[in-house]
């Protein structure tokens, strides 16, 4: 009998993103991808042809009854996240949910409380936080190599894919919001957002969001389904240098610009007032090539085994949804600023913005080196005894 205890995983949703999750979990040696679930028999037959060892199921509730399934990954439309994830947690399954975590702050808070009560790992798929490029930027910022952050500007633009139940901010901005929070190292105190619905009435396909942080730091996030050119770009402006992060090129995703501008400290007359512009070199640091999604999937398994809180925990997912909810409220108020509670604090029921939507056994724990993404120990151990698969 093998001494390796593999974690039984099931994936719900085999449309756009699900097949990528299936491929990556199948590649991990300490994972047994048992079941894939989708309402489309055609999609299941297609994936079964590629991965014949995987079981298929059209009813996710039936899938959750499998005692050999230790963890569930949900890659469906946002409107399905709440019932599926809640049932998964109630069934005793560690749960990874694709972004955004849920359709409202209230739903996120319920997930977090339920996962804590059940002693389970709850994780959200903020994939870009597992990107070597983003981790490199964080390393540069932590060393103060660009000075003090002044602002961050992000653009995530493309033609489609148009969604029917969420606007473009809920679809695309979670990536940029999660990166901004990670790089800033703090939660904003307010958000304002404007948007326009050009194609589907009531569902904004273009939005412009501003996040306001302490010490006059800001982040501007532009999202669009209505742009002819795919853009995945972020600029981080520091007091000494600036970083441009472009996720589309295979190489040189990060470029550091040794440029800055400073106002004179002392002057007697307006004629003596001159800005000091510094122009230096542009260089691109080496970044090891790794697939962020594979790193994310391995991190989920490591957190289950070691009882650790994920880098992209349920609480981090809640922070992003707080901002998205507030952005929807701001859009309804023509871009008026919406105050945000501090990260980790419960939202007061009478101040919550309106929701913008219609709508088993665990593997044994083993000691090992902690994942570089793990933050803290969970409040409860994540596993009990389980069967070998």
Q: Each residue of 128-140: pLDDT tens digit?
A: 999 999 999 999 9
The residue-averaged pLDDT of 334-358 equals 62
Among the listed residues 158, 123, 163, the one whose alpha carbon sits nearest the alpha carbon of residue 317:
123
Give the confidence band of 343 by pLDDT, cuts at 50, 70, 90. low
168 belongs to a structural domain? yes
Q: State percent of the chain over pLDDT 90.
A: 79
Beta-sheet pairing, 55-57 with 242-246: unpaired
Q: Each residue of 273-288: pLDDT tens digit?
A: 677 777 878 999 999 8
309 belongs to a structural domain? no
> Which residues, 6+ apart, have CB-to-CB distance to 142 below 8 Å?
none
52 belongs to a structural domain? no
What's the token pair of residue 73? 């990954």
Contact 100, 76 (CB under 8 A): no
Per the model's pLDDT, the better-predicted residue between 112 and 386 turns out to be 112
Query: What is the structure's pLDDT at 176?
Result: 98
Distance CA 300, CA 25 (A): 10
71 belongs to a structural domain? no
Neighbours of 220 (CB within 10 A): 16
210 belongs to a structural domain? yes
Q: Each residue of 153-205: pLDDT tens digit?
A: 999 999 999 998 899 999 999 999 999 999 999 999 999 999 999 999 999 99
Domain count, the chain: 1
Q: What separation in angstroms does the CA of 376 have from each of 108, 127, 309, 327, 366?
A: 20, 19, 5, 30, 17
Distance CA 60, CA 64 (A): 6
Greatest Cα-to-Cα distance within the chain, rounded to the nearest angstrom: 84
Q: Each residue of 304-335: pLDDT tens digit?
A: 999 999 999 999 999 999 999 999 999 999 99
Range of the domain at 193: 129-283
Domain of residue 225, CATH code: 3.30.360.10
Distance CA 226, CA 161 (A): 9
Query: What is the structure's pLDDT at 362?
Result: 45
362 belongs to a structural domain? no
Query: Does residue 353 have a pLDDT over 80?
Result: no
Phi-psi label, residue 42: left if phi above 0, alpha if psi -120 to 50, beta otherwise:
alpha
Q: Is the peptide bond before 100 cis (omega within 30 degrees of 0)?
A: yes
Residue 280 C-alpha from the chain's centroid:
34
Neighbours of 274 (CB within 10 A): 9
Per the model's pLDDT, the better-predicted residue between 121 and 263 turns out to be 121
> Which residues, 6+ apart, have CB-to-CB distance to 117 below 8 Å?
none
Distance CA 79, CA 119 (A): 25
238 belongs to a structural domain? yes
142 belongs to a structural domain? yes
């Amino acid at each position: 009998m093998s001494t390796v205890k593999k974690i039984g995983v099931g994936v719900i949703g085999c449309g756009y993103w699900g097949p990528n999750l299936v491929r990556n979990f199948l590649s991990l040696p300490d994972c047994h991808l048992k079941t894939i679930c989708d309402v489309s028999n055609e999609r299941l037959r297609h994936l079964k042809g590629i991965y014949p060892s995987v079981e298929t199921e059209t009813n996710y509730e039936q899938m959750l009854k499998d005692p050999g399934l230790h963890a569930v990954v949900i890659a469906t439309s946002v409107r399905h996240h709440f019932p599926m994830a809640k049932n998964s947690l109630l069934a005793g399954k560690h749960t990874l949910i694709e972004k955004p975590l849920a359709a409202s702050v209230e739903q996120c808070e319920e997930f977090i409380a339920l996962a804590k009560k059940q002693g389970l790992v709850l994780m959200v798929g903020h994939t870009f936080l597992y990107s070597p490029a983003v981790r490199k930027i964080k390393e540069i910022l932590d060393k103060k190599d660009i000075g003090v952050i002044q602002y961050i500007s992000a653009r995530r633009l493309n033609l489609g894919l148009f969604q029917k139940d969420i606007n473009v901010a809920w679809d695309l901005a979670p990536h940029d919001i999660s990166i901004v929070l990670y790089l800033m190292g703090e939660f904003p105190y307010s958000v304002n957002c404007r948007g326009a619905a050009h194609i589907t009435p009531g569902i904004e396909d273009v939005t412009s969001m501003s996040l306001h942080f302490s010490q006059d730091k800001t982040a501007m996030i532009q999202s669009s389904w209505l742009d002819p050119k795919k853009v995945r770009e972020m600029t981080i402006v520091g007091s000494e240098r600036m970083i441009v992060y472009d996720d589309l090129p295979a190489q040189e995703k990060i470029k550091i610009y040794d440029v800055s501008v400073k106002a004179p400290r002392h002057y007697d007359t307006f004629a003596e007032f001159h800005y000091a512009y510094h122009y230096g070199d542009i260089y691109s640091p080496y970044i090891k090539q790794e697939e962020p999604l594979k790193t994310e999937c391995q991190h989920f398994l490591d957190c289950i085994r070691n009882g650790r809180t994920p880098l992209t925990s349920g609480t981090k997912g809640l922070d992003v949804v707080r901002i998205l909810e507030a952005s929807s409220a701001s859009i309804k108020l023509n871009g008026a600023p919406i105050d945000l509670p501090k990260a980790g604090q419960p939202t007061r029921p009478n101040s919550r913005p309106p929701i913008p939507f219609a709508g088993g056994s665990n593997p044994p724990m083993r000691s090992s080196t902690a994942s570089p993404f793990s933050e803290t120990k969970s409040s409860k151990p994540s596993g009990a005894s389980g069967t070998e698969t």
